[in-house]
């Protein structure tokens, strides 16, 4: 059978494939502790689900406008003004997506040609480089080092630019390191992207789950940046809505117009009733959601402090997000074998740091937003396992 080079050269998604593997093991009756993909343990809050069921029962089961329902886009505009200080025109500057990944795909389809270079962070979310390559683009990595709190410098960023550079993908709050880019970081990106006429795609899926005194900032709200920034947001993480596959893009009208054509051909529209749930999620979060966020912060603190108490491992409390990005300080042991053996010996699944880029060779990613019981047992097993390696 002759298949495309695109698929033959493609790696699997390590986050999705390890989560699938653990699910399969469970279906075969095995006990597995899954801290791999960033999927919270809690269900979607009832006020969101109930409104969606009601919409389905009332016949809201047909395709919508390719841009998404007017009511959804209007709710997004209210959310952007309230949470992000962005004044968006819901008619021209917003389009509904099936989560950030699909948003990224259409953003790149709209902006890069084969042979164009796209700057990504190293480490970065596992699907960025792959999607760029599907489109014939070339990912160019800029390394984020722990010593620099997982930020890039202006010199590093500028050094990565060539005549072929077309776009930069920035993830803030960052997956997997948990860094929130401050205004100085974003100013650097604004300056460089303006100087070299680049598009910036910002993945802001963790914008609402920010810990301590940290504050999420939007590049699009920096002077002159709206027209060259494509902001990706979704409800997957903050509202435990991963299975809904829903989010949106905010950008200048010209980009949204072009993306709309892609959306018409590729998916027609985002599922109609799912947009009703997402519309509700754009409102002020209710007590249940606020309680989720408070619990998650406690869990992230618990996991990071427990890991730091283990000999041979260390991690920072992230500024935001679900993950303990954990450094393996055991001579001769790198992430690939560590993660593989941890699953084999202790039935604990984490994500091998290398899947986020070679800067992750001595790290693994542990998702903290699981049940307290799972966390306690999973960390006990992690302790056992690490002890044996020392
Ligand atoms: N984005 C999440 C993660 O980093 C979910 C998995 C995925 O969609 O790749 O784990």
Domain that holds residue 351: 5-44+287-389
* CB 38 near ligand 1, within 6 Å: yes
Q: End of a domain among 281, 305, 338? A: 281
pLDDT at 4 over 90: yes
Supply the pTM of this predicted model. 0.97
CA of 125 to the centre of ligand 1 (A): 8
Percent residues over pLDDT 90 in the chain: 99
The Cα-based distances of 41 to 235, 237, 322, 368 in angstroms read 15, 11, 11, 10
Q: What is the pLDDT of residues 37-90, one digit of tens each?
A: 999 999 999 999 999 999 999 999 999 999 999 999 999 999 999 999 999 999
Q: Are residues 157 and 244 in the same domain?
A: yes
Beta-strand runs (E) in the chain: 33-34, 94-97, 117-122, 138-143, 165-171, 199-203, 229-234, 247-250, 313-314, 323-328, 348-349, 351-352, 363-367
Measured CA to CA, the distance from residue 129 to residue 210 in angstroms comes to 26
Q: Are residues 226 and 264 in the same domain?
A: yes
Q: Whose CA is nearest to atom 2 of ligand 1?
A: 38
Please give the number of the atom of ligand 1 that sits closest to the Cα of 351: 10
- Is residue 284 very low, low, confident or very high in pLDDT (cuts 50, 70, 90)? very high
Please give the number of the atom of ligand 1 that sits closest to the Cα of 175: 4
- Is residue 228 very low, low, confident or very high in pLDDT (cuts 50, 70, 90)? very high
* CB 321 near ligand 1, within 6 Å: no
Q: Are residues 142 and 234 in the same domain?
A: yes
pLDDT value at position 194? 98
pLDDT value at position 1? 76
Q: What is the pLDDT of residues 158-191, one digit of tens each?
A: 999 999 999 999 999 999 999 999 999 999 999 9
CA of 314 to the centre of ligand 1 (A): 23
Measured CA to CA, the distance from residue 189 to residue 202 in angstroms comes to 11
Q: Are residues 258 and 385 in the same domain?
A: no
CA of 16 to the centre of ligand 1 (A): 7
Measured CA to CA, the distance from residue 19 to residue 36 in angstroms comes to 6
* CB 175 near ligand 1, within 6 Å: yes
Q: DSSP assignment, residue 45?
A: P
Q: Are residues 53 and 33 in the same domain?
A: no
Give the residue-averaged pLDDT of 369-389. Answer: 97
pLDDT value at position 174? 98
Q: Are 116 and 96 in contact (CB under 8 A)?
A: no
Measured CA to CA, the distance from residue 107 to residue 247 in angstroms comes to 13
CA of 350 to the centre of ligand 1 (A): 12
Q: Are 228 and 264 in contact (CB under 8 A)?
A: no
Q: Are residues 273 and 335 in the same domain?
A: no
* CB 355 near ligand 1, within 6 Å: no
* CB 221 near ligand 1, within 6 Å: no
Q: How many domains are there within the chain?
A: 2
Residues 6+ apart with CB under 8 A from 334: 328, 354, 361, 362
Q: End of a domain among 253, 281, 309? A: 281
Residue-by-residue DSSP string for 317-381: PPSBSSEEEEEE-STT--HHHHHHHHHHHH-EE-EEGGGG-GGGTTEEEEE--S-HHHHHHHHHH
The Cα-based distances of 93 to 211, 257, 388 in angstroms read 29, 8, 55
Average model confidence (pLDDT) across the chain? 97
Task: Give the CA radius of gyration of the chain.
Answer: 21
Q: Are residues 175 and 197 in the same domain?
A: yes
- Is residue 215 very low, low, confident or very high in pLDDT (cuts 50, 70, 90)? very high
Query: Ligand 1 pocket: which of 10, 11, 14, 15 to mutate (most atoms <8 Å of CB)?
Result: 15
Q: Are residues 275 and 304 in the same domain?
A: no
Measured CA to CA, the distance from residue 298 to residue 120 in angstroms comes to 31
**Biggest alpha carbon distance in the chain?**
61
Strand 313-314 relative to strand 323-328, pairing: antiparallel
**Hey, CA dihedral for 194, 103, 268, 89, is it positive or negative?**
negative
Q: What is the pLDDT of residues 306-358, one digit of tens each?
A: 999 999 999 999 999 999 999 999 999 999 999 999 999 999 999 999 999 99
pLDDT at 24 over 90: yes
- Is residue 115 very low, low, confident or very high in pLDDT (cuts 50, 70, 90)? very high
The residue written with tokens 């025109």 in the block is 89
Q: Are residues 30 and 61 in the same domain?
A: no
Q: Are residues 276 and 308 in the same domain?
A: no
Please give the number of the atom of ligand 1 that sits closest to the Cα of 39: 5
pLDDT value at position 366? 98
Q: Are residues 71 and 220 in the same domain?
A: yes
* CB 16 near ligand 1, within 6 Å: yes
| Overall residue count recorded for the chain in this entry | 390
Q: Are residues 93 and 236 in the same domain?
A: yes
Instruction: Check which CATH number belongs to the domain holding 345 and give it.
Output: 3.90.1150.10
Instruction: Check which CATH number belongs to the domain holding 146 and give it.
Output: 3.40.640.10
Measured CA to CA, the distance from residue 335 to residue 351 in angstroms comes to 9
């Amino acid at each position: 059978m002759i298949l495309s080079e695109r698929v033959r050269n493609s790696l699997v998604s390590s986050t999705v494939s390890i989560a699938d593997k653990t699910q399969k093991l469970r279906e075969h009756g095995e006990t597995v502790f899954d801290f791999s993909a960033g999927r919270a343990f809690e269900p979607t809050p009832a006020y969101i689900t109930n409104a969606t069921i009601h919409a389905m029962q009332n016949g809201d089961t047909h395709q919508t406008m390719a841009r998404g329902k007017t009511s959804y886009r209007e709710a997004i505009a209210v959310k952007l003004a309230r949470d992000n200080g962005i004044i968006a025109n819901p008619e021209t500057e917003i389009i509904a997506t099936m989560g950030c990944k699909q948003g990224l795909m259409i953003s790149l389809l709209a902006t890069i040609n084969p042979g164009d270079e796209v700057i990504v962070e190293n480490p970065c979310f596992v699907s960025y480089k792959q999607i760029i390559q599907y489109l014939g683009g070339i990912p160019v990595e800029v390394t984020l080092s722990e010593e620099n709190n997982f930020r890039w410098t202006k010199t590093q960023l500028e050094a990565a630019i060539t005549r072929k550079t077309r776009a930069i993908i920035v993830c803030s709050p960052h997956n997997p390191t948990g860094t929130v880019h401050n205004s100085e970081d974003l100013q650097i990106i604004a300056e460089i992207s303006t100087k070299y006429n680049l598009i910036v795609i910002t993945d802001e899926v963790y914008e609402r789950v920010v810990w301590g005194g940290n504050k999420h900032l939007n590049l699009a709200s920096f002077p002159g940046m709206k027209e060259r920034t494509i902001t990706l947001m979704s409800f997957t993480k903050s509202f435990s809505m991963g299975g809904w596959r829903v989010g949106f893009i905010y950008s200048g009208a010209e980009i949204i117009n072009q993306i709309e054509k892609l959306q018409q051909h590729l998916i027609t529209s985002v599922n109609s009733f799912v947009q009703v749930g997402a519309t509700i999620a754009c409102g002020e979060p209710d007590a249940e959601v606020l309680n989720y966020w408070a619990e998650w912060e406690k869990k992230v603190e618990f996991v990071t402090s427990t890991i730091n108490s283990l000999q041979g491992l260390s991690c920072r409390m992230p500024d935001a997000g679900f993950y303990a990005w954990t450094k393996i300080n055991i001579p001769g042991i790198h992430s690939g074998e560590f993660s593989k053996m941890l699953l084999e010996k202790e039935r604990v699944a984490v994500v091998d740091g290398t899947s986020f880029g070679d800067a992750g060779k001595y790290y693994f990613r542990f998702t903290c937003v699981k049940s307290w019981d799972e966390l306690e047992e999973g960390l006990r097993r992690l302790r056992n396992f690490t002890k044996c390696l020392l």
